[in-house]
Amino acid sequence: MNHVGYPHNFEGILDFYKNYVDSRYGFCSDRGDVPKSGKIPSDFITSDPKMLDVMREKIMQHLSAGGDEYFVVYTSGSKTADIFSVSEDNILEATEFPQILSAKLATYGGCSSGATRVGFKIKLSPVDSNIPDK
């Protein structure tokens, strides 16, 4: 990146990918082949256990700091919902927040006020659904 003059930040990395790898990469406001929501290279994925453990802990801290003790994941394909505990006071006896198998930096939604929305999409360890089908 030094050789072609791109800064060593997220914007520089994305511009490098757009100009040297695939013109579909970029921010939502970029012209050309970039999708409406923007596009991040699939290279921004990890399955490194140490990094995933840190991410899991940060997610649990974030939810707990906001006053959350549980969260639910609904899977439309199987029509199942799983409730997970993120606190030690688990009166519902819900499943503990599972391990993260992989995390990928990706865009989501459309352009919001001219900004690209970016978040981690995580893949969780499989669990038996603990809320019955409706």
In degrees, rounded to 5, the angle at the alpha carbon of residue 101 between the alpha carbons of residues 117 and 45 is 45
Q: Is the pTM of this model over 0.75?
A: no
Q: What is the pLDDT of residue 128?
A: 63
CA–CA separation, 3 vs 58, rounded Å? 36
pLDDT digits (tens, 9 = 90+) for 29-45: 888 888 888 899 988 99
CA–CA separation, 73 vs 71, rounded Å? 7
CA–CA separation, 30 vs 120, rounded Å? 21
- Give me the residue spans of the domains in the chain: 1-42, 44-134
* Coil, strand or helix at 59: helix
pLDDT digits (tens, 9 = 90+) for 3-15: 888 899 999 999 9
Amino acid of residue 112 = S
